Amino acid sequence: METIGTALTGPVLTRLPKGKDLVEALTEAAAAIKATKAQITVIGALERAKLGYYLQDERRYIDFALDEHVEILCGLGNISLKDGLPFVHLHLTLSRKDCSCLGGHAVAGNIIFAAEACITPVAGPALERGFDEPTGLYLWK
Amino acid sequence: METIGTALTGPVLTRLPKGKDLVEALTEAAAAIKATKAQITVIGALERAKLGYYLQDERRYIDFALDEHVEILCGLGNISLKDGLPFVHLHLTLSRKDCSCLGGHAVAGNIIFAAEACITPVAGPALERGFDEPTGLYLWK
Amino acid sequence: METIGTALTGPVLTRLPKGKDLVEALTEAAAAIKATKAQITVIGALERAKLGYYLQDERRYIDFALDEHVEILCGLGNISLKDGLPFVHLHLTLSRKDCSCLGGHAVAGNIIFAAEACITPVAGPALERGFDEPTGLYLWK
């Protein structure tokens, strides 16, 4: 039977520290509330950004560095377990000075200017990632 | 009086099947947890995409097919009832290999490469769509 | 000790009125359910848009007016207190007829064509904004 203790604590709003890597900061914010299974959203701004795109045919990510101040229009993702440890999977939609948009998978290198996150714990058994042969990705088993 | 039984079950994280239509997969995932009123978010990637844009003056959608591998930066929407059946309303923000973005209303034809959804049931009375004369859309009554 | 009374009411889905300013409508929708600390999401369409971008070095916003019908792909943000009053902080990702995207910080001047919001109350002590010297923004204390 599923425990629903986690879900009943409800979502948490938290400010993330300036100058820190976004994925790292989210990982720490989740750990602080003991969330190992959660939905994440975030808005704010970055001092610079680094985004990934998955080449579905070549089964590898390519990165795109953006040395520019950008707004975080939408950071959306989740936390689950990978190799037994909490793992943040986050996609980012960003905007530039002219309001044009850029986006991708958040890799290391997104440096926070200001960020407001909402972490919503999800109840039930642990959710674990494992290698998925058809895609080459680590997906939920 | 409102029942809050549904909301207390909390959000659910679920992986959607590769090769399936995104809106269809979300409709089935919601049915599996008996959610007929919910918020939906989704990240992942598509093998190809199909987006709609509503011509507010002409009161009709136009479609835009994208035969390209794209990241799902943000799928955001909801489930409510239309003609008595669960209906998914979803908007998509997508990114390409160069991190540029495209987006629109999700119609049939968004084929999943990998997708992770969060379905958050919402408590209270059923929410039903009906024709709205001022917009030409089916909105909540 | 934190009260969790608010969180247990769960998220609310609500339609926002046509012709109204989006941030104003969200502020009123939150007030109607007495939410002063919440996550907000919204999809829909705008009759016209107005977006901001924060110049991190100059410490001021510049605005970008878009006199065009656009889809709201993703409105994401939160409600907390500023000067003791509920304050909506919202970022918008929008799309045009050709599915290209624009986005930024939502300022006054986003006029609703149709909008469906989800307001998720967050439990616990009030969250207040105050001036933050390192960024020049009003962030959570």
Q: Phi first, then psi: what are they for A68, rounded to 5°?
A: -160, 150
Strands C70-82 and C128-132: parallel
Q: How confident is the prediction for chain B on average, in pLDDT? A: 94
Confidence of residue A8 (pLDDT cuts 50, 70, 90): low
Average pLDDT of the residues in A87-107: 98
Q: How far apart are CA B85 and CA C28, in angstroms?
A: 30
Instruction: Give me the pLDDT at residue A4, please.
Output: 35
Residue B7 has pLDDT above 60, yes or no: no
- Whether residue B103 and residue C98 make contact (CB cut-off 8 A), yes or no, is no
Chain C contacts of A114, Cβ < 8 Å?
A: 132, 135, 137, 139
Instruction: Give me the pLDDT at residue C8, please.
Output: 53
How buried is residue B3: exposed, middle or buried, by Cβ count under 10 Å (0-12/13-18/19+)?
exposed
Residue A86 has pLDDT above 60, yes or no: yes
Instruction: Give me the pLDDT at residue C4, please.
Output: 35
Which token pair is B131? 């024709």
Q: How far apart are CA C114 and CA B114, in angstroms?
A: 30
Instruction: Give me the pLDDT at residue B48, please.
Output: 98
Residue B21 pairs in a beta bridge with B111
- Whether residue C73 and residue B78 make contact (CB cut-off 8 A), yes or no, is no
A106 neighbors A74 (Cβ within 8 angstroms): no
Instruction: Give me the pLDDT at residue B123, please.
Output: 93
Instruction: Give chain C's contact residues with B (Cβ, < 8 Å).
Output: 8-15, 18, 41, 43, 45, 47, 69, 71-74, 76, 93, 95-101, 113-114, 116, 118, 120
Instruction: Give me the pLDDT at residue C6, please.
Output: 43
Chain A contacts of B118, Cβ < 8 Å?
A: 39, 78, 120, 122
Q: How far is A12 from chain C (nearest CA, A)?
A: 6
- Whether residue A11 and residue C120 make contact (CB cut-off 8 A), yes or no, is yes
The better pLDDT of the pair A120, B5 is held by A120
Instruction: Give chain B's contact residues with C (Cβ, < 8 Å).
Output: 4, 7-8, 37, 39, 41, 51, 53-57, 62, 64, 66, 74, 76-78, 80, 89-93, 101-105, 120, 122-124, 127, 132, 134-135, 137, 139-140
Output the DSSP codes for B48-72: EEEEEEEETTTTEEEEEEE-S-EEE
- Whether residue C122 and residue A11 make contact (CB cut-off 8 A), yes or no, is yes
Q: How far apart are CA B18 and CA C141, in angstroms?
A: 44
Q: Phi first, then psi: what are they for C27, rounded to 5°?
A: -60, -40
Chain A contacts of C134, Cβ < 8 Å?
A: 18
Instruction: Give chain A's contact residues with C (Cβ, < 8 Å).
Output: 8-15, 18, 41, 43, 45, 47, 69, 71-74, 76, 93, 95-101, 113-114, 116, 118, 120
Chain A contacts of B120, Cβ < 8 Å?
A: 39, 120
Which chains share 3+ C-beta pairs under 8 angstroms with C?
A, B
CA distances to A86, A123, C6, C132 from A32, rounded to whole Å, are 12, 17, 21, 23
Average pLDDT of the residues in A94-100: 98
Q: What SS3 string covers A25-55?
A: HHHHHHHHCCCCCEEEEEEEEEEEEEEEEEE
Instruction: Give chain A's contact residues with B (Cβ, < 8 Å).
Output: 4, 6-8, 37, 39, 41, 51, 53-57, 62, 64, 66, 74, 76-78, 80, 89-93, 101-105, 120, 122-124, 127, 132, 134-135, 137, 139-140
List the single best residue of B55, B101, B127 to mutate versus C (max C Cβ within 10 A): B101
Among B13, B18, B74, select the one facing A127 at the smallest CB separation. Answer: B13
Listed in sequence order, the DSSP H helices in C4-128 are 22-32
Among B80, B92, B122, select the one facing C11 at the smallest CB separation. Answer: B122
pLDDT in tens, B31-76: 999 999 999 999 999 999 999 999 999 999 999 999 999 999 999 9
Q: Which helix (H) or strand (E) holds B27?
A: helix B22-32
Instruction: Give me the pLDDT at residue C9, please.
Output: 77
Spell out the per-residue pLDDT of chain C, length 141, in tens.
333 334 457 999 999 999 999 999 999 999 999 999 999 999 999 999 999 999 999 999 999 999 999 999 999 999 999 999 999 999 999 999 999 999 999 999 999 999 999 999 999 999 999 999 999 999 999
Closest CA to B121 of B45, B26, B10, B32: B10
In A, minimum Cα distance to B69 occurs at: A56
Q: How far apart are CA C94 and CA C99, in angstroms?
A: 9
Confidence of residue B9 (pLDDT cuts 50, 70, 90): confident
The size of chain C, in residues, is 141
Q: Phi first, then psi: what are they for C96, rounded to 5°?
A: -100, -175
Residue A6 has pLDDT above 50, yes or no: no
pLDDT in tens, A17-57: 999 999 999 999 999 999 999 999 999 999 999 999 999 99
Instruction: Give chain B's contact residues with A (Cβ, < 8 Å).
Output: 8-15, 18, 41, 43, 45, 47, 69, 71-74, 76, 93, 95-101, 113-114, 116, 118, 120
